[in-house]
Amino acid sequence: MTTTELPDLTGFTEHNGIRMTAIGDDGETLLALGHHDPVKTVHAFHWLLRHRLGDNGLPERGTPREVAEDVHALWAVTLTECGDCGGRSDCLDCAAIKSSDWWIDYSASEQDLGRFPVMVLHLDD
Ligand SMILES: [Zn+2]
């Protein structure tokens, strides 16, 4: 764990002390706020899938310890614009970001201003 402050974002579900949600166009990426034990994170993601997202969960992907190898501890920042277009008013990426309650870029570095720790699992890998 770190002392980095986590953002207060809407739409997250908490289970066993892990705040998490599904992101991506089809909810294909699971993201938890904070750095946690990977196996504990897998158990939380499995709960999220079964009890909040109507999915069968993670067993078909392997044991919790096997799935944990695909869970990545990363750094994220919240974005208010895409950062690539120079603020063009017709940028579709910026429009998507502005129409959302929040937007997370989880490819930040540990040195980035405003970064916070996340755990990420891509279900479509
Ligand atoms: Zn843009």
What is the pLDDT, as a whole number, of residue 2?
46
Domain span at residue 26 reads 2-122
Q: How far is the CA of 68 from the centre of ligand 1 (A)?
A: 34
CA distances (Å), origin 54, targets 44, 48, 49, 87: 14, 9, 6, 38
Residue 109 alpha carbon to ligand 1 centre in Å: 21
Is residue 93 predicted with pLDDT exceeding 80?
Answer: yes
Which residue type occupies 8? D
Q: Does 4 have pLDDT greater than 80?
A: no
Which pTM was predicted? 0.89
Residue 102 Cα to ligand 1 midpoint, Å, equals 15
Q: How far is the CA of 104 from the centre of ligand 1 (A)?
A: 14
Query: Ligand 1 mean position to 55 CA, how many Å?
Result: 33
Domain count, the chain: 1
Distance 83 CA to ligand 1 centre (A): 6
Is 101 in a helix, a strand, or coil? coil
- The larger pLDDT score, comparing residue 17 to residue 4, is at 17
Q: Please check whether residue 4 is in contact with residue 35, taking contact to mean a CB–CB distance below 8 angstroms.
A: no
Tokens of 118: 């996340």
Q: How far is the CA of 103 from the centre of ligand 1 (A)?
A: 13
Question: What would the pLDDT profile of 44-88 be if each residue is shown by its tens digit?
Answer: 999 999 998 888 888 888 999 999 999 999 999 999 999 999 989
Across residues 97-107, what is the average pLDDT? 93
Q: Round to whole Å and give the CA distance between 78 and 97.
A: 10
